[in-house]
Amino acid sequence: MTQGKSMTVNAFEDTHETKPVKPQSTATVHRDVRETVGEVRVEDPRIRCTDVNVYYGEKHAIKNISLDVGKGEVLAMIGPSGCGKSTFLRCINRMNDTVSSCRVTGEILLDGEDINGRHIDVVPLRARVSMVFQKPNPFPKSIYENVAFGPKIHGLVQSKAELDEIVEASLRKANLWDEVKDRLDDPGLGLSGGQQQRLCIARSIAIEPEVILMDEPCSALDPISTAKVEQLIDELRQNYSICIVTHSMQQAARVSQRTAYFHLGDLIEIGKTDDLFIKPRHQLTEDYITGRFG
């Protein structure tokens, strides 16, 4: 599928040649894996990833990544394009399943349970770990139907009244209700870009997931819309764990509690957002946040 293909290309852009922290050894399988610096683990994690590797065919896109996502926190993933942060994000709700050449190893625990386990069904998994995409992608339906889509397919409601309630609550949470309450039957595609993206977030939270994955949700938006979405993310943190991939370091600094820095498929450094931006511990992180590349 096209999304997958473009990811494949991004994931291996081998343009940033940097000095390896660990000397290369030909003996190990993952010879160019770098050790992660910083606090990988948190107490009481929502998601715990251990030694996650992703391969696209022969290409090793994600290398031995371990990290935790805590409850009620926003984890920002930053890094130059092609560093694998989006790929990693898509592992968390198994969106990579749709890419036939993609193979994932390692362990990803959601509330202590391996999501790649044999008996796990992706459908209920994705109802718990929902995803918002880079480009706003409202369905060609009315605003109401867009938000109602998830609750309907998952059978979360028993009555129209209940559904109305969920739609309103979700739109309110997404700070969109006041703008659209009079035209719920208008097509979702008729909204502005920022409104569309908030509609997509509303659509995601309508199914009350535990984790929301956001893949550069503001990259297609203007600054005002971006500000609204960022404010929304901050509010949503109360009830959800959020992983957000972003190109903008300012955005990561504004919305996240912890930040992870990816580089060429490696997780270089992870830690409290404030610490990471103020005194990065790894040379590569410092180079990146001081704007030497990326």
Partner 1 sequence: MTNPTSPAAPGQSRGERNFARVQAGMKKRRAAETRFRLYGMIAVGLGLSFLLVLMFSIVSKGYSAFLQTYVRLDVPLLEEVIDPEQTRQLDTLRSADYGALVKQNLRDMFPEVTGRRDKFALYNLVSNGAGFDIRDRVLANPDLIGTTLSIWVAADDDVDMLLKGHIERTGPEADRRIKDNQLAWIDKLNAEGRLEKRFNVAFFSNGDSRDPELSGIRGALMGTIFTLIVTLSLSFPLGVAAAVYLEEFAPKNRWTDLIEVNINNLAAVPSIVFGLLGLAVFINFFELPRSAPLVGGLVLTLMTLPTIIIAGRAALKSVPPSIREAALGIGASPMQAMLYHVLPLALPGMLTGTIIGMAQALGETAPLLMIGMVAFIADVPQGIFDPSTALPVQIYLWADSPERAYVERTSAAIMILLAFLALMNTVAVLLRKRFEQRW
Partner 2 sequence: MTQTPILVLLLLALSSAAFYFGRKRAFQVAGGQIRKLHSLPGYYGLYVAIWAALPALLVLGVWLSMEGSLITQMVVSTLPASVQDLGPDKLNLVVNDIRNLVVGNIVSGTPDAAMQAAADRYRELQSISKLALFGVTLAVAAIAGWLAFSRIAPHHRARNGVERIVMYVLIACSLVAILTTVGIVLSVLFESIRFFRAVPVSEFLFGLDWSPQIAMRADQAGSSGAFGAVPLFAGTLLITLIAMIIAVPIGLMSAFYLAEYASRRVRAIAKPLLEVLAGIPTVVYGFFAALTVAPFIRDSGSILGLDVASESALAAGLVMGVMIIPFVSSLSDDVINAVPQSLRDGAYGMGATRSETVRQVIFPAALPGIVGAILLAVSRAIGETMIVVMAAGLAANLTANPLEAVTTVTVQIVTLLVGDQEFDSPKTLAAFALGLMLFLVTLVLNVLALHIVRKYREQYD
Listed in sequence order, the DSSP H helices in 34-111 are 85-92
Pick the stretch among 122-130, 161-169, 221-229, 231-239 that binds partner 2 (CB under 8 A): 122-130
> Could you give the CA distance from residue 40 to residue 272 in angstroms, rounded to a whole number?
10
At its nearest, how many Å lie between partner 1 and the CB of residue 63? 28
Instruction: By CB under 8 A, tell whether 127 contacts partner 2.
Output: yes
Which of 162, 225, 169 has the alpha carbon at shortest distance from 197?
225
What, of partner 2, partner 1, none, does residue 239 touch, CB below 5 to 8 Å by kind?
partner 1
At its nearest, how many Å lie between partner 2 and the CB of residue 214? 11
User: Which is it for the CA torsion 196, 253, 262, 12, positive or negative?
Assistant: positive
Helix axes 193-205, 223-236, angle to 10 degrees: 10
What, of partner 2, partner 1, none, does residue 133 touch, CB below 5 to 8 Å by kind?
partner 2
What, of partner 2, partner 1, none, does residue 177 touch, CB below 5 to 8 Å by kind?
none
Nearer to partner 1, 155 or 223 (CB): 155
At its nearest, how many Å lie between partner 1 and the CB of residue 165? 12
Which 3 state secondary structure label does DSSP give 152?
Answer: helix
User: Which is it for the CA torsion 153, 156, 157, 162, positive or negative?
Assistant: negative
What, of partner 2, partner 1, none, does residue 135 touch, CB below 5 to 8 Å by kind?
partner 2
Nearer to partner 2, 139 or 177 (CB): 139
At its nearest, how many Å lie between partner 1 and the CB of residue 92? 15
Helix (H) or strand (E) holding 201: helix 193-205
